[in-house]
Amino acid sequence: MVMEKVQGRGFLGVVFLVIVFLSVSSGEAQSRSFLVNCGANSSVNVDGRRWIGDLVPNDNFTVSSPGVAATDSTANGDSLYRTARIFDNGLNYTFSGVQGNYFVRLHFCPFPIENHNVNESLFSVVANGLKLLADFNVPGEISDKYLPLQNSNSNSSSLSLVKEYILAINDVLVVEFIPSKGSFGFINAMEIVPVIGTLFADLVRRVGGSDANVSGRGIETMYRLNVGGQEIKPDQDSDLWRKWEVDSSYMITADAGVEIKNSSNVTYASNNDSSVAPLLVYETARIMSNTEVLEKKFNMSWKFEVDPDFDYLIRLHFCELVYDKANQRIFKVYINNKTAADNFDVYARSGGKNIAYHQDYFDAISAKINTLWIQLGPDTAVGAWGTDALLNGLEIFKLSRSGNLAYGDRIGPTGKSASHLKSWILWLGIGAGVASALIIAIACTCIFCFCKSQRNEMSNTKDNPPGWRPLFMHGAVLSSIANAKGGAQTLNGSVAAFTRVGRRFTLSEIRAATDNFDDSLVIGVGGFGKVYKGEIEDGTLAAIKRSNPQSEQGLAEFETEIEMLSKLRHRHLVSLIGFCDEQNEMILVYEFMANGTLRSHLFGSGFPPLTWKQRLEACTGAARGLHYLHTGADRGIIHRDVKTTNILLDENFVAKMADFGLSKDGPALDHTHVSTAVKGSFGYLDPEYFRRQHLTEKSDVYSFGVVLFEVVCSRPVINPSLPKDQINLAEWAMKWQRQRSLETIIDPRLRGNSCPESLKKFGEIAEKCLADEGRNRPTMGEVLWHLEYVLQLHEAWMRTNATETSITSSQALEDLELRVAEDAQRRPSSLDEDTVRPRHEG
């Protein structure tokens, strides 16, 4: 009955089967633990907790059918595991009065049972409609390589297997055990323990892309390691009863990292973190061996077997135990050979020494991959002082897709016959210790085919193939874009850029524009997919971003981006021309920015240097775009990733901000920089944001200040090849600016070609932007205002220098300052971009 309700709600294809809505909700649900000693008459005390025998009727849960209670006659197991409930038919455990997020742990500890060969058990488990296990076999002898979460608090020689899930429960939890046709299943114990606090945030940073929303997904714990330390037993982990394994057996080269430990004074940054992991996890760590050697050319690598074709949440736990300042240990994090983070400085991120810190990453594992590699290694771009890495703990969680967490259920049919099945399974039991994941995959495929042909009643989620919902969830947004159909809009008489309004393209139009997605037209690749340079039929050049159909999360981002871009239209923001949502495609069409990034015109590429005037115009353009973002939309939008690679230049060198909306879960617009988003941001990051973990518009102002220094100095914001005090441009430039001698380090090509007064003012603006505290920094509107002034100073200087008129430049300046002061009375309070613009046109 509960299931039917759940299925009825499955039509959206959204994973929300976990939550069961019952019309008769008691409202008295509360956080309670349920510890069930299955197949037992009596309760036992294990771990200091009381496990209730399920043969005795009780108020706390019901069992739908008796099954067979079995007791291990050899009696050498843990008292909890000496009994089991065996089932040849379906069996339901129903727990009521359960509200919130729970750990659901299933304990399996096979022992010889009369009439049943435990090696041949085969069954599925479904919790509130979410499939946890499909055609699952518990091998008679559990090898420690087979599955990770054993419970070794048993004295018996046969280890138990514990499968752990994290589920959101609304009032009632029904755990269904369903034996596969002709087979049976068993369960030794069940543990339902409330999750204290909030373990997971909705948004998780995707490796090489923008955030993924993981809200509402069912979770299975795959691995949980106390890196560099001892095993942590469930009773050592506060009230959550998690087990933390030793990590060394997962390391590729065990001696790549040495263990360190310091248990004094390790604390949580906030009380909220106390349920994330016990302090014991943070008190030990693994760092790279041989720390005396400056040149470190290896990674610490861990390798895990995972189920293909699922999304994973990887949680890394860190705590700096040694250094008491930042910049001592800076490294890169790789997940499956992709850079998940670089310039990773635990001290800076956690806000100090001995402070617990964790970082989550989201990565989708494709159908062909069955391993997950986590690697930490030197960040060679940072220089000699920061090449050591550190890791304290590691967790890997599998996320449900389409109401399913079970691996076997997702494998497509192949031609294996049923007779192979049993031998494969037996083989799995025998050789589990060495069985490669490939074999597991084949076996599961067989199981799947076998069972699919014989049994249909179980599958309840296959009708919703992982795919994309039709796009009309944001119907209003889309139709508002589509209705505009390229029509011109004029706002306050502003310029032509406003006429570009989104329209809906057909797929054939997109194919024509991109030569059928010809790879030679690819101008960038990112987490979201590829970006092509294309020409739409009226001859307009466009950047066409085609999302990778593999990514399930892509839809939300696609919708967000359209929604964002439809709200934000501005001459200094890269604009959306249209989109295509035909045939499950998610394609966005942007205006093409012919001159690429601002950075590429500052240094490191063959382009001719920009003049001071061009640089000032680019800065004012970008400042306008940011000012609009901060004040223009319904609510202020923080860009979060202001840097010279996110400032694009069109054919007339008009600067436009790209990649905005990162803060709103929008995918990166400028894909080529997505993968390096963290890196690019490093030299630009607001230190106050680090300290307070609180993001404001003033963080963008800080980053923009760094951009200003980069523009005037023409060098990367981080250049590790320079002497130590020069590596970080923000520090280096501020040092000179404070002495009022920034001109010493400016781009030599500007000397003599720029108004000295304007350079001076420009330095002052940048300095103000880099104020330590956000409240001492100017707003973007003020920055914009001052930049306008600087531009006017320079233009006046150019006119006097070029025409050698009789008035002295200081007279010209006085005139100008007067005019500027007048204009200041009319400073923009609204968003109309054109209220702020140069007042003199020659």
Q: Count the Cβ atoms, other than its own, within 10 Å of residue 204.
A: 23
Q: Are strands 189-194 and 355-365 parallel, antiparallel or unpaired?
A: unpaired
Give me the residue label for tokens 């339901």.
92
Amino acid at 518: D
Q: Which stretch binds ligand NAG (CB under 6 A): 330-338, 389-397, 622-630, 677-685?
A: 330-338
Q: Which stretch binds ligand NAG (CB under 6 A): 295-303, 738-746, 748-756, 758-766?
A: 295-303
Give 52 or 820: the residue with its C-beta nearer to ligand NAG: 52
Q: Which stretch binds ligand NAG (CB under 6 A): 57-65, 479-487, 765-773, 814-822?
A: 57-65
User: Smallest distance from the beta carbon of 161 to ligand NAG, in angstroms?
Assistant: 14
Contact map string, positions 406 to 435, toward ligand NAG, x by CB under 6 A: -----------------------xx-----
Structure token digits, residue 822: 């007048």
Q: How many residues in the chain?
A: 842
Q: Say which DSSP state 159 is in.
A: P
Give 34 or 612: the residue with its C-beta nearer to ligand NAG: 34
Q: Are 625 and 642 in contact (CB under 8 A)?
A: no
Q: Are 99 and 30 in contact (CB under 8 A)?
A: yes
**Contact status: 291 vs ligand NAG (CB under 6 A):** no
Residues ≥6 apart with Cβ < 8 Å to 257: 228, 251, 286, 287, 288, 289, 300, 389, 391
User: Smallest distance from the beta carbon of 832 to ligand NAG, in angstroms?
Assistant: 30
Report the Cα 621 to chain-centroid distance in Å.
31
Identify the CA nearest to 752 among candidates 801, 787, 714, 791: 801
Among 10, 377, 554, 661, binds ligand NAG (CB under 6 A): 377
Among 264, 456, 744, 830, binds ligand NAG (CB under 6 A): 264
3-state helix, strand, coil in the chain (%, to 5): 30, 25, 40
Residues ≥6 apart with Cβ < 8 Å to 696: 638, 774
**Contact status: 118 vs ligand NAG (CB under 6 A):** yes
Give 373 or 736: the residue with its C-beta nearer to ligand NAG: 373
CA distance 743 to 733: 10
Give 457 or 538: the residue with its C-beta nearer to ligand NAG: 457
Amino acid at 242: R
CA distance 71 to 361: 43
Binding residues for ligand NAG restricted to 2-41, rule: CB under 6 A = 2-3, 32, 41
User: Smallest distance from the beta carbon of 459 to ligand NAG, in angstroms?
Assistant: 13
Q: Which stretch binds ligand NAG (CB under 6 A): 329-337, 466-474, 675-683, 721-729?
A: 329-337
Q: Are 306 and 371 in contact (CB under 8 A)?
A: yes
Q: How many residues sit in the footprint of ligand NAG (CB under 6 A)?
A: 51
**Contact status: 152 vs ligand NAG (CB under 6 A):** no
Among 93, 103, 334, 785, binds ligand NAG (CB under 6 A): 334
Contact map string, positions 339 to 358, toward ligand NAG, x by CB under 6 A: ---------------x----
Q: Are strands 284-288 and 300-305 parallel, antiparallel or unpaired?
A: unpaired
Give 43 or 614: the residue with its C-beta nearer to ligand NAG: 43
User: Smallest distance from the beta carbon of 176 to ligand NAG, in angstroms?
Assistant: 5
CA distance 83 to 212: 43
Give 385 or 517: the residue with its C-beta nearer to ligand NAG: 385
Binding residues for ligand NAG restricted to 750-789, rule: CB under 6 A = none
CB-based burial label for 510 (10 Å; 0-12, 13-18, 19+): buried
CA-based Rg of the chain, rounded to a whole angstrom? 31
Give 357 or 590: the residue with its C-beta nearer to ligand NAG: 357
Amino acid at 440: I
Q: Say which DSSP state 505 is in.
A: P
User: Smallest distance from the beta carbon of 376 to ligand NAG, in angstroms?
Assistant: 8
Give 372 or 513: the residue with its C-beta nearer to ligand NAG: 372
User: Which residues, in sequence order, are bridge partners of residue 384?
Assistant: none
Among 375, 392, 645, 703, binds ligand NAG (CB under 6 A): 375
**Contact status: 59 vs ligand NAG (CB under 6 A):** yes
Q: Are 76 and 58 in contact (CB under 8 A)?
A: no
Q: Say which DSSP state 722 is in.
A: S
Give 92 or 809: the residue with its C-beta nearer to ligand NAG: 92
Among this protein's residues, is 518 annotated catalytic?
no
CA distance 586 to 530: 11
Identify the CA nearest to 345 among candidates 774, 685, 707, 638: 685
Ramachandran angles phi, psi of 699, nearest 5°: -70, -40
Q: Are 541 and 592 in contact (CB under 8 A)?
A: yes
Q: Which stretch binds ligand NAG (CB under 6 A): 59-67, 235-243, 526-534, 625-633?
A: 59-67
Q: Which stretch binds ligand NAG (CB under 6 A): 228-236, 240-248, 261-269, 308-316?
A: 261-269
CA distance 482 to 485: 5
Among 31, 71, 291, 584, binds ligand NAG (CB under 6 A): 71
Among 11, 73, 75, 202, binds ligand NAG (CB under 6 A): 202
Among 17, 18, 72, 78, binds ligand NAG (CB under 6 A): 78
**Contact status: 216 vs ligand NAG (CB under 6 A):** yes
Binding residues for ligand NAG restricted to 95-114, rule: CB under 6 A = 112
User: Smallest distance from the beta carbon of 75 to ligand NAG, in angstroms?
Assistant: 12
3 state DSSP class of 431 = helix
Structure token digits, residue 532: 């092509």
**C-alpha triplet 22, 86, 32: angle, nearest 5°:** 40
Identify the active-site residue in 309, 641, 665, 747: 641
Among 25, 117, 454, 801, binds ligand NAG (CB under 6 A): 117
**Contact status: 176 vs ligand NAG (CB under 6 A):** yes
User: Smallest distance from the beta carbon of 518 to ligand NAG, in angstroms?
Assistant: 26
Q: Are 234 and 389 in contact (CB under 8 A)?
A: no
**Contact status: 654 vs ligand NAG (CB under 6 A):** no
Give the 3-state DSSP-derived string for 81-136, with helices as H, strands as E and coil as C: HHEEEEECCCEEEEEEEEEEEEEEEEEECCCCECCECHHHCCEEEEECCEEEEEEE
**Contact status: 213 vs ligand NAG (CB under 6 A):** yes
Binding residues for ligand NAG restricted to 127-146, rule: CB under 6 A = 140-141
Give 385 or 736: the residue with its C-beta nearer to ligand NAG: 385
Distance linking the first and last C-alpha atoms of the chain: 78
Ramachandran angles phi, psi of 526, nearest 5°: -150, -175
**Contact status: 548 vs ligand NAG (CB under 6 A):** no
User: Smallest distance from the beta carbon of 203 to ligand NAG, in angstroms?
Assistant: 5
| Residue 805, CA distances (Å) to 388, 612, 796, 812 in order | 61, 21, 11, 10
Among 31, 58, 291, 480, binds ligand NAG (CB under 6 A): 58
Q: Which stretch binds ligand NAG (CB under 6 A): 116-124, 162-170, 471-479, 620-628?
A: 116-124
Give 381 or 820: the residue with its C-beta nearer to ligand NAG: 381
Which residues are at the interface with ligand NAG (CB under 6 A)? 1-3, 32, 41, 52, 58-60, 64-65, 69, 71, 78, 90, 92, 112, 117-119, 140-141, 153-155, 174, 176, 202-203, 213, 215-216, 262, 264-265, 270, 272, 297-299, 334, 336-337, 354, 369, 373, 375, 377, 429-430, 665
Catalytic residues: 641
